[in-house]
């Protein structure tokens, strides 16, 4: 086994959430692999663990034995001498912190501090909890219910110490809280140390005392983590590159199927729709991998594993490829059908004696959004969720796309197998990627990178050239020949600019002659057209290959993926969690607490009621992949949990100062904090801590967040980010269509502009229109408020929300049409008097309810739609319901920049 594979193996065996150690750093620090564990020590560890486990499993576990086991691991396994583990009064008070708003002091049980220098430096804070206390569960016997993991994170941030260790004896969690960077949680399990000794070697190599006191600074755990920060961006960028290549593979496969059908399949499909469909397939796979890894689907059920799971599908296809060769997979096409079945199963649900999967609904898995993916030309008649498609309708009569198993394998491996570069050259080392270790923000960043690419249909032959990862150009053959005719020097300068490669590398590539195998591949790519082959062969050494080894030659009529607008031009900019966290916290603190706005000290802050928290409206007006909104959901849901707990304590003053979950569950309250009445359909706060957190996140997503982005694909990526944050086993996707919308935040009409224009006409017709206008706005507000008044518990709730949104949009359609006319005329570039004349003419037809079919109306509407005009008060009428004081509670995010201009 190679050393790189050795490190990849143990990384895959531990639980990682957030950025951790990168492979290049591990290879530098441990070039021979992890430090070995003494065999006698392993035997002793097994005896100590078994004794502790037997005691903890007894009816009356001994706290003394629990304490002895924890000390044994710290002193004998990790090698910390008693003198190095400060406790009690020996721990400096500077390592304590008072959480004023919670009225609680946090302090470590033990601390490792480097000595022998002028100033002692705390290196590791240790928290010990009972074995019954889950490290990610709400804290028992404390008013503040934050989990041990989150309490350690708060302590580290407050004291400026980077590393913390939290344990209940079975789970040993390292908490990494670097200042100004994303935090991480890494867990080892004592039971696994004995089953997989490699995890024990990792535990002792990284957290042993020698790593803190006996190595150079860059080789300490803090130094390794600091060095790995730069490498984490490489991981995200590499994943983004792999996903882009996968999208290209899928589009080429669909294009090949279209070519085989005489170009009939995609005859009425725009290239932009094809690109969005391919990207949607990859987003579906991301959701499935994430849901399966988190136990939210049926992974582990033999029937699901064999016929639906994407995780097992990749394994099955890879085994076949390794045994029989990938070429065999090119002649099999059942894997694509299985993916389509899984997509439908997630959307519609499965109700069978042997397999029961609830319907998740949502636009992401809607089979009728891109029917051509199933070989259908139009959607079938709508059917109730869970009923499939009856015989003779929809997909049962469709000629399913012949997407090969080899293509499906590459789609799956692009997401699950990261090809990491090994220092010193050599082939990239495959590493299995865990979606549990990726932040939602990182996943969003991967897909944001695809927003600056588009699908294009070739009018002339186009060649894809080898370049850097950021510069892989597609250039027409005619353009290459024209540039080559200008002479070698000019041609090399042109190619250098296009590809980012050196002139020497380009000169060598132009002189390269293809071997026999490469000639065959190039002839196939040229569709065995001898004349085309002769033209293309001159650039054979410069052509990049696709994932199947074929040169990137796109013949006329073919669809290919290429860079479109730059990311800044699309308005997309990635913001890491290390920035979204403090911005959201400092923005929302004055809204969730009474006290900050008045300048009161923290100990006097008072958390607002659940009802007040759920009334907040927070918007990101240029949301991208929703990094800020995801953090809003996290922050507000945590405050909502605290508000529920505070309310429970207020309702149970005679029970105990800190009621147990069982006692707390007996106090039945609604999300708004009202005592439950027992009415049918009334939502009750669940007893289980994990269920409470999921419900809190879904409620916040339902009621509190709003977002807008100019790019329609960004809106879909934002929905995916929120869905990944609010996933709940057995519950459909949270409904977001009313809150996350596509539009240009800086272009649109406000209510004052619209009323001044629409009310500028006098007479009976005007009076009638004013009455109708108020009715339309009131109807839309009422429907949207009703939509937000309940959460999605089953697919019928999602359908009811969709119907209410449709009714609200229908009510507001005429108003938004008028706003489009008003803004569209302004966008035509006319002189002011010409604008006013056109608006006056349009107003008569508009108020009279005439169809907007005249040339002036069509010009104005086209201009507004092209700019994706967004009319805030009429898109979110419930937010602007209160005249004079309506609007959002807070705005978060990166502003929608206008290039080079200041925003007043």
The average pLDDT across 795-806 equals 92
Q: What is the DSSP string of 143-201?
A: SS---HHHHHHHHHHHHT--EEEEESSSEEEEEE--TTS--EEEEEEHHHHHH-HHHHH
Confidence of residue 386 (pLDDT cuts 50, 70, 90): very low
| Longest Cα separation, the chain | 98
The average pLDDT across 675-695 equals 84
Q: Which of 61-75, 86-100, 561-575 has the lowest mean pLDDT?
A: 561-575
Confidence of residue 661 (pLDDT cuts 50, 70, 90): low
Give residue 392's pLDDT: 39
Give residue 766's pLDDT: 61
635: pLDDT strictly greater than 90: yes
The average pLDDT across 268-281 equals 92
262: pLDDT strictly greater than 60: yes
142: pLDDT strictly greater than 90: no
Nearest CA among 725, 694, 730 for reference residue 298: 730
Give residue 768's pLDDT: 66
150: pLDDT strictly greater than 70: yes
Q: Please name every residue paired with 232 in a beta bridge, in sequence order, or none if there are none.
A: none
Higher pLDDT, 428 or 799: 799
Percent of the chain whose pLDDT exceeds 90: 54
Q: What is the pLDDT of residues 467-513, one digit of tens each?
A: 987 788 999 999 999 999 999 999 999 999 999 999 999 999 999 98
299: pLDDT strictly greater than 60: yes
Confidence of residue 381 (pLDDT cuts 50, 70, 90): very low
Q: What is the pLDDT of residues 786-796, one digit of tens each?
A: 999 888 888 88
79: pLDDT strictly greater than 60: yes
Alpha-carbon distance values, 231 to 46, 134, 235 (Å):
36, 31, 7
449: pLDDT strictly greater than 50: yes
Give residue 117's pLDDT: 52
Give residue 394's pLDDT: 41
Give residue 391's pLDDT: 40
Evaluated on CA atoms 126, 132, 136, 138, the torsion sign reads negative
The average pLDDT across 139-146 equals 76
| Chain CA centroid to CA 896, Å | 21
675: pLDDT strictly greater than 90: no
293: pLDDT strictly greater than 70: yes
Q: Which of 445-454, 757-766, 837-846 has the lowest mean pLDDT?
A: 757-766
The average pLDDT across 13-29 equals 87
The average pLDDT across 556-562 equals 93
Give residue 571's pLDDT: 43
Both tokens assigned to 127? 């928290």
Give residue 331's pLDDT: 92
Both tokens assigned to 778? 């009131």
Q: What is the pLDDT of residues 358-375, one digit of tens each?
A: 899 888 999 999 999 998
Please, which residues have CB within 8 angstroms of residue 495's CB and are 6 or more apart in sequence? 465, 483, 501, 506, 542
Percent of the chain whose pLDDT exceeds 70: 89
Q: What is the pLDDT of residues 697-712, one digit of tens each?
A: 999 999 999 999 999 9
The average pLDDT across 96-124 equals 83
Strand order in the sheet with 553-554: 474-476, 462-464, 553-554
Q: Please name every residue paired with 87 in a beta bridge, in sequence order, or none if there are none.
A: 110
The average pLDDT across 26-47 equals 90
The pLDDT mean for the chain works out to 86
Higher pLDDT, 399 or 571: 399
538: pLDDT strictly greater than 60: yes
Q: What is the DSSP string of 254-304?
A: HHHHHHHTTT-TTTT--HHHHHHHHHHHHHHHHHHHHHHHTT-S-TT-HHH
Confidence of residue 74 (pLDDT cuts 50, 70, 90): very high
CB atoms near residue 868 (< 10 Å): 18
pTM for the whole thing? 0.84
750: pLDDT strictly greater than 60: yes
Rg of the chain over all Cα atoms, to the nearest angstrom:
31
Evaluated on CA atoms 140, 146, 150, 151, the torsion sign reads negative
């Amino acid at each position: 086994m190679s050393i790189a594979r050795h490190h990849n193996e143990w990384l895959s065996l531990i639980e990682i959430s957030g950025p951790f150690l990168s492979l290049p750093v591990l290879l530098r620090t441990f070039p021979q692999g992890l430090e070995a564990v003494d065999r006698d020590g392993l035997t002793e560890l097994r005896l100590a663990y078994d004794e502790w486990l037997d005691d903890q499993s007894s009816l009356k576990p001994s706290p003394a034995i629990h304490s002895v086991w924890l000390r044994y691991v710290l002193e004998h396994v990790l090698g910390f001498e008693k003198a190095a583990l400060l406790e009690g009064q020996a721990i400096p008070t500077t390592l304590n912190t008072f959480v004023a708003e919670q009225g609680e002091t946090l302090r470590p049980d033990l601390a490792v501090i480097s000595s022998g220098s002028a100033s002692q430096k705390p290196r590791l804070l240790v928290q010990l909890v009972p074995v019954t206390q889950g490290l990610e569960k709400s804290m028992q016997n404390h008013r503040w219910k934050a989990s041990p993991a989150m309490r350690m994170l708060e302590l580290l941030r407050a004291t400026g110490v980077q590393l913390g260790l939290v344990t209940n004896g079975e789970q040993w969690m390292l908490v990494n809280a670097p200042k100004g960077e994303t935090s991480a949680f890494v867990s080892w399990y004592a039971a696994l140390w004995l089953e997989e000794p490699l995890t024990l070697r990792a535990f002792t190599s990284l957290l042993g005392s020698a790593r803190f006191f006996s190595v150079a600074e860059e080789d300490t755990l803090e130094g390794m983590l600091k060095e790995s920060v730069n490498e984490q961006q490489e991981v995200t960028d590499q994943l983004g590159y792999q996903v882009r290549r996968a999208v290209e593979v899928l589009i080429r496969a669909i294009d090949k199927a279209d070519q085989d059908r005489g170009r009939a399949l995609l005859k009425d499909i725009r290239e932009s729709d094809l690109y969005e469909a391919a990207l949607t397939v990859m987003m579906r796979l991301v959701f499935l991998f994430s849901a399966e890894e988190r136990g939210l689907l049926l992974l582990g059920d033999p029937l699901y594993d064999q016929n639906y799971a994407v995780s097992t599908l990749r394994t099955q296809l890879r085994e076949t490829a390794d045994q029989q060769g990938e070429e065999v997979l090119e002649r099999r096409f059942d894997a694509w059908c299985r993916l389509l079945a899984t997509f439908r199963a997630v959307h519609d649900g499965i109700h069978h004696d042997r397999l029961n999967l609830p319907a998740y609904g949502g636009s992401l898995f809607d089979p009728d959004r891109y029917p051509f993916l199933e070989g259908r030309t139009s959607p079938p008649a709508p059917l109730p969720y869970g009923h499939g498609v009856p015989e003779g309708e929809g997909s049962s009569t469709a000629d399913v796309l012949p997407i090969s198993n080899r293509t499906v394998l590459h789609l799956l491996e692009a997401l699950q197998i990261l090809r990491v570069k090994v220092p010193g050259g050599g082939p990239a080392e495959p590493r299995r990627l865990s979606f549990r270790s990726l932040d939602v923000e990182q996943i969003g960043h991967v897909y944001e990178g695809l927003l600056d690419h588009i699908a294009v249909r070739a009018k002339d032959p186009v060649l894809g050239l080898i370049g850097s990862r950021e510069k892989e150009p597609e250039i027409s053959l005619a353009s290459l020949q024209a540039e080559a005719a200008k002479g070698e020097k000019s041609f090399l300068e042109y190619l250098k600019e296009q590809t980012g490669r050196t002139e020497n590398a380009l000169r060598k590539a132009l002189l390269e002659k293809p071997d026999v195998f490469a000639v065959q591949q190039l002839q196939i790519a040229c569709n065995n057209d001898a004349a085309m082959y002769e033209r293309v062969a001159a650039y054979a050494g410069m052509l990049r290959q696709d994932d199947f080894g074929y040169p990137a030659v796109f013949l006329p009529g073919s669809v290919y993926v290429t860079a479109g607008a730059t990311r800044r031009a699309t308005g997309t900019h990635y913001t890491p969690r290390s920035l979204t966290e403090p911005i959201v916290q400092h923005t929302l603190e004055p809204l969730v607490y009474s006290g900050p706005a008045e300048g009161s000290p923290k100990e006097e802050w008072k958390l607002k009621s659940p009802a007040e928290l759920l009334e907040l409206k927070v918007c990101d007006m240029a949301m991208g992949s929703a990094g800020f909104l995801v953090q809003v959901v996290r922050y507000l849901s945590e405050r909502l949990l605290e508000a529920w707990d505070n309310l429970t304590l207020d309702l149970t003053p005679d029970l105990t100062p800190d009621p147990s979950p069982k006692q707390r569950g007996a106090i039945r309250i609604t999300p708004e904090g009202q005592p439950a009445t027992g009415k049918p359909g009334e939502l009750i706060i669940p007893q289980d801590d994990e269920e409470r957190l999921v419900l809190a996140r879904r409620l916040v997503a339902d009621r509190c967040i709003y977002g807008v982005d100019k790019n329609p694909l960004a809106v879909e990526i934002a929905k995916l980010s929120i869905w990944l944050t609010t996933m709940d086993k057995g519950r459909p996707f949270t409904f977001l269509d009313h809150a996350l919308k596509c539009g240009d935040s800086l272009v649109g009409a406000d209510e004052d502009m619209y009323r001044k224009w629409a009310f500028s006409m006098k007479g009976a017709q005007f009076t009638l229109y004013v009455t109708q206008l108020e009715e339309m706005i009131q109807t839309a507000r009422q429907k949207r408020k009703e939509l937000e008044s309940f959460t999605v518990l089953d697919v019928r709730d999602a359908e009811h929300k969709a119907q209410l949104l449709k009714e609200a949009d229908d009510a507001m359609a005429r108003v938004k049409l008028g706003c489009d006319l008003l803004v569209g005329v302004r966008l035509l570039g006319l002189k002011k008097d010409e604008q006013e004349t056109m608006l006056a003419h349009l107003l008569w037809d508009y108020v009279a309810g005439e169809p907007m079919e005249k040339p002036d109306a069509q010009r104005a509407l086209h201009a507004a739609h092209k700019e994706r005009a967004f009319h805030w008060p009429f898109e979110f009428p419930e937010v602007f319901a209160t005249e004079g004081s309506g609007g959002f509670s807070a705005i978060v995010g990166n502003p929608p920049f206008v290039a080079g201009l200041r925003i007043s």
